Chain A
Amino acid sequence: MLIEVALKGGLRAWGVVDVSEGYLNQVSRFLWRWLTTTNHKDIGLLYIVTSIYFFLVAGALGMLVRAQLSKPGNTILVGNEYNEAVTMHGLFMLLWFVSPLAFGLANYIVPLQIGARDLAFPRLNALSYWLYLVSGLIALVSFFAPGGTASAGWTLYAPLTSDIYSLGKGLDLVGLAVILFSASVTLGTINFLVTIVKMRAPGMTWARLPMFSWTIVFTVLLMLWAFPTLIAATFLLFLDRNFGTRFYESPLGGSYLWGHLFWFFGHPEVYILLFPALGMIADIVSTFSRRQLFAKHIIVLGLSLGTALSFLVWVHHMFITGIALEIRKIQSFTTAIISVPFEMTVIAMILTLWRGRIWYTTPMLFALGSIFNFIIGGATGVFLSSVPLDIAFRGTYWVVGHFHYIVAGVITFGLMAGLYYWFPKITGRMYNERLGKIHFAIAFTSIHLLYLPWFLLMDMPRRIYDYAPEWATFNLVSTVGALIFGASFLLPLINFTYSLWRGPRASDNPWNAYTLEWLTTSPPPRHNFEGEPMITSDGRVVFIAANGGYSHHVHVEHQTLTPFGIGLGALLFGLGLVYSPTLSTIFNLNVTLLSVVGVIVMVVSLLKWAWNDLLDKFTIPEPKVLEDWPLSGVDKVRSGVWVFLVGDIFLFGTLIGTWLFVRTRSLAWEPGYLSHDITIGLVNTFILFTATYFYLLGYLFIRRGSIAGFMLSMVMALALLVSFLLVKVVEWSHLVSVGYTLATGLQAQLYYTLTGLHGLHVLFGALATAYVIAKALRGGYTREEHKGVVEIGLYLGMVEMIWVFLFPMFYLL
């Protein structure tokens, strides 16, 4: 009954149904609308709701951990159960709550803030969401896998993650979930970067870009360079656990390798989590102080410095590993100075408040609370830049206190500020201000009750489920704080749910804010603005024509089930790894019925996606006038491909780095290391170079208008790409037949991993070339219109570029 009421309420709220329709019809229409949507506001809402769900999961786990630690000798969670709860609390909070909630808001707000109709690639946006949801569900399901879920800590340190110390399939599911999540993030990176750089309304110069949108730019840049490393690292872990490789168990620095790869991602991840919240806080502080942000250009400069420096501080997470002293000195220095840009940001925000006419609304209170917590969280982190202090504090509650102040005190407070701030815009209703302020008061007091004692527990080791009696008082205080802090989040749930139905109507701009999203209705129409927004040189916004540029009504027809299909396939594949009858076993990996069905669903969905493209079903004309510096002259698809290529190059760079790392330690490979036939290597090099050459010839022919020359060249390119793969298959078969297998050693493992992944890229290149041929056969290319040919050529160039490194690595050295 309750579900029925909620569903009907939801149906009415979104206005998608006719009351006279049958109930089943209404439900199916409702489901169809949400499963097929590609609209940025819908996707944003899906992200927000899903991330709040994962927040509740992660929060519940955190509360269980605190309950266990409330007094010594408790037995609520002991041994591995405790480790599982701690591990998954961290992973859910960091991966499936914080960033997704920020990107849910970004999905909804950024296109509005920059005056765009949608994100650059709406289908990719939908795919990002479904992969995110599926990854979270797989991580959730891992709790029920035989042997339990991951228990190695959220950092998944090697060799704790090996199949010796982490039994069962739970960790495999978590690994798969992390890879899917990273794939989702990578797609989001491409989308947001291209959107903000290429689709700003006329007059929306970089100087006028609101801080929230600015911080999303920095965040996606960080994601672009950080997440490929996590994908590579987790991919190797997956191989270790399922295919018998030993990258992280090798005595030749296996655990070191994980440390470097993980933390090269892990430290920038802190800023990936932090930046969007800082952007929200900056916009909110400016709005409710009735002043422009103080020294905005300095803040932007500071954040760009922070972005660059964040990649040069990861070693401070490894100070106790006995890492080279020179490296420790350098990264101790970079860690100390990375605090400067953030201090500048905090000071600028405080100076914005100076002489401002401050309006203490709930979002403003949360923003101020966040700034206050930032001072505590930031200052306690500076201690950890010092090598001696870091060694002393490592593995204690001081470190845990520092990062919880940042993640909960700064970021979560910032996100709450953002939710309250944009709630009227998104829903068209005002929330209950009094309840909001009560929420702030409880959360702000209880967070210190929860986390401040941890600094006083600086001698208590983290990751233990029982402890000495002298730590009991502070732990009890902390647990009381946790219960109050956790319970306080029920208030916004009640507040938002109630206000969604009963809250007073919100005006278009209830806060008298300055940014563009407040100039449209609350909630905004599907096409965002009535007319094309343009910012004049004196900063006024004018709307130049109703439905100017391309009409967003076209977008409604862009509903598609393919992103959902790909996500569903991934979910079935993941679940199939554990919960399905096994058809056969490859190494330790079970090939099950459900996994096979999952792969089929994914392939069919991808084919449908390509078919839709072939029919030009999703072509969205780019608006004529835009602020697109510094990518003027590069269309959005090419821009997106360049962003993708950078990520992919980083992925291979990380794996090639792994080869270098291993090779540096082992001056001689295992006997028989030159078993690869150099002639075969050279032949394949020749084939790949020639394939790309023919592809480029095809490009020249189509520019000249010669369809016959174009087709001939493309067929040659395709034939050569397929030949490359066939030669590879023959070579692999031969090597396996002479006993050169994954069991041979690290060199063989690296060879199969890198050439296999490269071969997969060649396969995608061949499929893309086949797509070009199919489209040409349908008359899809002319001298004037041959979109897509260049982009696939760029991809093939990247595949060739990787090979010029792999060839000498495996055939010559």
Chain B
Amino acid sequence: MERFRASLTIYTATWLILVGGAVLEAVFILNRIARWPELFVLGVSGFQASLILLFYMHLRDEPTSVKAMPVVTLLLLIALLASAITSVLACTPYIPG
């Protein structure tokens, strides 16, 4: 019973933060409160995704090897995106800068 309540509390709190985060995100962007909207949105989404991974998908209870899988995936994605975007931002013969 105790375990049930503890889990229920965690799930409910996570749900509240997720919904609240989405509303907050909308309010901040629409009212132009966030100075760097892209970074703000990335931060909120990253935080929400971490909550889902840790508490809904129970990544915190998995062994290190499973924890490493999303982390490595994230690092590789960052490498791909950083290179792709940097190459686009740089002046190139094919794309007028």
Residues of A with Cβ closer than 8 Å to B? 197, 225, 229, 251-253, 255-257, 260, 264, 311-312, 315, 318, 321-327, 331, 630-634, 639, 642-643, 646, 649-650, 653-654, 657, 660-661, 664-665, 678, 681-682, 685-686, 689-690, 692-693, 696-697, 700, 703-704, 793-794, 797-798, 800-801, 804-805, 807-809, 811-813
Contacts and interface: CB of A to CB of B under 8 A. Distances in A.
Contacts of B18: 689, 804
Contacts of A692: 52, 56
Contacts of B48: 801, 804
B57 A798 contact: yes
Given A704-B4, A804-B45, A632 B63 contact: yes
10 contacts: A255-B94, A321-B92, A322-B93, A324-B87, A327-B86, A653-B81, A654-B80, A661-B81, A661-B85, A812-B30
B77 A630 contact: no
Contacts of A634: 62-63, 66
Interface in B44-69: 44-45, 48-49, 52-53, 56-57, 62-66, 69
Interface of A is mostly: helix
A252 B95 contact: yes
A315 B90 CA distance: 14
B83 A315 contact: yes
A108 to B, nearest CB: 27
Most buried by A among B64, B72, B81, B93: B81
B65 to A, nearest CB: 4
A700 B11 contact: yes
A257 B84 contact: yes
Most buried by B among A312, A692, A800, A812: A812
Closest 3 CB pairs of A and B: A324-B90, A322-B92, A630-B65
Contact of B81 (A657, A665, A801, A804): A657
A657 B87 contact: no
Contacts of A807: 22, 25, 45
A214 B41 CA distance: 41
A653 B94 contact: no
Contacts of A678: 26, 30
A650 B76 contact: yes
Most buried by B among A252, A805, A809: A805
Contacts of B89: 324, 664
Nearest to B18: A689
Contacts of B1: 704
A813 B22 contact: no
Contacts of A649: 70, 73
A811 B44 CA distance: 14
B24 to A, nearest CB: 11
Contacts of B91: 322
B69 A660 contact: no
Contact of A682 (B22, B44, B62, B85): B22
A696 B93 CA distance: 53
A368 B52 CA distance: 51
Contact of B66 (A225, A323, A642): A642
Given A657-B80, A689-B15, A807-B22, A646 B69 contact: yes
Contacts of A324: 86-87, 89-90
Contacts of A805: 45, 49
A225 B76 contact: yes
B23 interface: yes
Nearest to B73: A646
Nearest to A632: B63
Most buried by A among B1, B7, B22: B22
Nearest to B89: A664
Given A642-B66, A660-B81, 14 more contacts: A260-B84, A311-B80, A322-B90, A324-B90, A327-B87, A630-B65, A643-B69, A649-B73, A650-B73, A700-B8, A801-B48, A804-B22, A811-B26, A812-B25
Contacts of B11: 693, 696-697, 700
Contact of A813 (B37, B63, B80): B37
A665 B95 CA distance: 10
Interface string B14-41: 0100110111011001100000011001
Contacts of A665: 88, 95
Nearest to A696: B11
A690 B66 CA distance: 26
